[in-house]
Amino acid sequence: MTKTLLGKLDPKCVRSLDIPRPPEGLIEGFKALGDATGIVSDVMDHLNIVGVLPGSLLRPTIAGATIVGPALTVRNTVLPGHPNDNARAHINGMAEIEAHNIAEQGDVLVIEGVPGVSNMGGISAQVGKRQGEIGAIVSGGVRDVAHSRRVGFPVWSSELSPVTGKWRIETIEVNGPVHIHGIRVNPGDIIVADDTGVCFVPRERAAEILELSRKRAAMEDARCDALDRGVPIRDLPSAS
């Protein structure tokens, strides 16, 4: 499929119309871990990789939602000018629609956003859902939570705000590196998110992290099985 821009953003601000795709089986492997962020976080600790944020900071809008997919990134900043003047002049700097337009099935929208205002709303969530995105991670505010819940599009955000970003936000880059509360996220990095938090898995280390996560999950399953069988605590398989 040929991808094109919609003209909402200077073409120079779009790093690429494509993002690196994960190798076959990688996404399915992370999904098979189930409630995975704890296991993945432990593995990233052992590998000295910083890339995990708690659910208390990035709160999910849909309880029980779990997503795994490659990052499709958007970077926002504050739009110059007073919001009232921008509104009267119809100066709308938001352009996450360009990311929606180039999304592929299974992508996760990751927005480095502006605090205090909404960086995406319900219609944007519905567009993302239709384009095949499975959810969004937003540093900053989002709104229309009931709408995004209704269409089954989970969002992990640091804030909720009804204040529109339309006259307050300028999108300055799509498909480039972003920073989510100090963590660098590149297009194509693997996002693993659930009720507990969000793991940003560097794509170049993803296969290694998955392999070690599988081993750790098997070890934890063995401990749980031993507990169910009544094995004394002193005899449980090692947790290290």
**What confidence tens digit (pLDDT) does each residue in 30-78 have?**
999 988 999 999 999 999 999 999 999 999 999 999 999 999 999 999 9
The residue type of 53 is L
The least confident of 83-92, 157-166, 223-232 is 223-232
In this structure, is residue 61 part of a structural domain? yes
Position 71 scores a pLDDT of 98
* Residue 108 bridge partners (DSSP): 71, 135
68: tokens are 């795994």
107 is in an annotated binding site: no
In this structure, is residue 3 part of a structural domain? no
In this structure, is residue 29 part of a structural domain? yes
Position 217 scores a pLDDT of 87
Q: What values do phi and psi take at 148, rounded to 5?
A: -65, -35
In this structure, is residue 92 part of a structural domain? yes
30: tokens are 């992370």
Task: Examine the pLDDT at 229 and tell me if it is beyond 90.
Answer: no
User: Using an 8 Å Cβ cutoff, are 104 and 128 in contact?
Assistant: no
DSSP 150-180: HTT--EEEEEE--SBSTTTEEEEEESS-EEE
In this structure, is residue 240 part of a structural domain? no
How many domains does the chain divide into?
A: 1
Task: Quickly state the pLDDT bin for 119 (edges 50, 70, 90).
Answer: very high
**pTM here?**
0.91
In this structure, is residue 197 part of a structural domain? yes
Task: Quickly state the pLDDT bin for 136 (edges 50, 70, 90).
Answer: very high
Domain that holds residue 38: 11-235
In this structure, is residue 1 part of a structural domain? no
5 or 227: whose pLDDT is higher? Answer: 227
How many helices and strands in the chain, by DSSP H and E?
Answer: 7, 11
User: Using an 8 Å Cβ cutoff, are 165 and 146 in contact?
Assistant: no
Position 5 scores a pLDDT of 66
The residue type of 34 is G
In this structure, is residue 5 part of a structural domain? no
Residue 107's CATH number: 3.50.30.40
Neighbours of 137 (CB within 10 A): 28
Position 117 scores a pLDDT of 97
195 is in an annotated binding site: no
